[in-house]
Amino acid sequence: MATSTRSRLALVLASAALAVSSTACKPSGTAAPHPSLSRPPVGTGKGGAGSITVSFTKPVSVSGHVDTTVTCTTGSRTYTASGSSALVAGYKVSFTVKVFPYHGPDGYPAAVVSLTLDGPTGKVGAASVPSPTTVTTSGGSFTVDTTSDNGQQLTASLEWACS
């Protein structure tokens, strides 16, 4: 009889342990939320403050949107916008736009645009050329289709939003 009682007790304890372990793994629905991580002080989404949207078709195909610091200034009838080393699809994009004489948001047929694309193994292409450019109250855009400093065709469009 003592063996039978011990066996029953062992069975009851094993069942209780199994019941506790099976309910311990189920979500309770009252889990504390994860703490939110703060984003960098730049915009979000296409056209958000502090962002660029870029599309290269030559010499490589690279496109995407990235939140980054875009510095925009005006002074002495000159508008300047620039972004440096923005990481897009594994490539670093840097640009500078200079408009002179600047008279406000408008289309400019020959702003000086400098554009550089660096890849995982080094510079893919760079050019500094006059380019049709649109400047808006919050940023702007340009398209470049030229021969880069390394002799390859450089075709790209870039839209920026000032930080």
Which residue, chain included where needed, has tokens 């002074």?
75
Cis amide linkage into residue 41, ω under 30° from 0: no
For the stretch 3-31, pLDDT in tens is 444 444 444 444 444 444 444 444 444 44
CA 145, chain centre distance (Å):
24
CA angle 125, 130, 133 (to 5 degrees): 100
CA distance 121 to 33: 41
CA distance 92 to 14: 60
Can you give the pLDDT at residue 122? Answer: 87
> 10: phi > 0 → left, psi -120 to 50 → alpha, else beta; which?
alpha
Can you give the pLDDT at residue 9? Answer: 42
Q: Where in the chain are the domains?
A: 51-161
Mean pLDDT of 140-158: 93
Please indicate whether residue 102 or residue 9 has the higher confidence score (pLDDT): 102
Can you give the pLDDT at residue 59? Answer: 92
Q: Please report which confidence band the pLDDT of residue 44 belongs to, taking 50, 70 and 90 as the band edges.
A: very low
Model pTM above 0.75: no
Task: Return mean pLDDT, the chain.
Answer: 79
1, HSE (Cβ side, Cα atoms, 13 Å): 0
**φ, ψ at 59 (rounded to 5°):** -80, -10
Can you give the pLDDT at residue 35? Answer: 39
Mean pLDDT of 103-108: 96
- For residue 26, what are its two tokens? 């189920």
